[in-house]
Amino acid sequence: MTDTSQVRPVTWWDGIPVPWVTAWSRESIPRQLLAVQHGPGGDRLGFQNEVDVDRHYGVPWVRMPAVRRGRPRHEKVHALRQRQAMSRLLRQLCGGPTVDSRPDERTLWLMGARGGAAVAEGQRTTAPPVHKDCALLAVEHCPPLRRGWRAALVSYAPVWGVTGVL
């Protein structure tokens, strides 16, 4: 039985579900000036006029509006929602919490995989977890997943690193 108390409504656009972590056209990244910052730990790259909330996991995090307006840009991930989904184990498609969604406290992860290879112990991903109902929507509507996918129930999923583009 599905625990619907934690499932958030999925946003749809032209008959296609839009993952919560997807960037929208009105969430374009403004120009962000960088500077070398000098500190007790040495020099590091950062934003000009950087504030505490700009840096996560020791990395300057791209600044972008979070309005979910305009048209979905399925090829882009929203930086803040992606970070929140990974660090708080929020569901990729609906943004709901995965905590307490299964009695065994494991989290469901779904990844594209041509040939359906199994998920290996210690494997890393940039894809946030999903709920089983969201996973069914994803494999039906997401083009990369229609080419092949794999799933795993994971009991421990720490944030391991940061990936991004400068």
The tens digit of pLDDT for each residue in 52-107 reads 889 888 888 888 999 999 999 999 999 999 999 999 999 999 999 887 667 788 89
Angle at 79 (CA atoms; ends 73, 82), nearest 5 degrees: 90
Burial class (CB in 10 A: 0-12, 13-18, 19+), 11: middle
User: pTM of the full predicted structure?
Assistant: 0.84
pLDDT at 102: 73
Query: Is the predicted pLDDT of residue 3 greater than 60, yes or no?
Result: no
Task: Output the average pLDDT for the chain.
Answer: 87
Hey, which bits of the chain come out as E strands?
A: 11-13, 16-18, 22-24, 34-39, 42-47, 55-56, 59-60, 72-77, 107-112, 149-154
Per-residue buried b or exposed e for 39-56, using 16+ beta carbons within 10 Å of the residue's own CB: eeeeeeebbeeeeeeeee
User: What is the distance between the alpha carbons of residues 112 and 40, in angstroms, rounded to a whole number?
Assistant: 43
Query: Is the predicted pLDDT of residue 39 greater than 90, yes or no?
Result: no
- 8 A C-beta contact, residue 55 and residue 46: yes
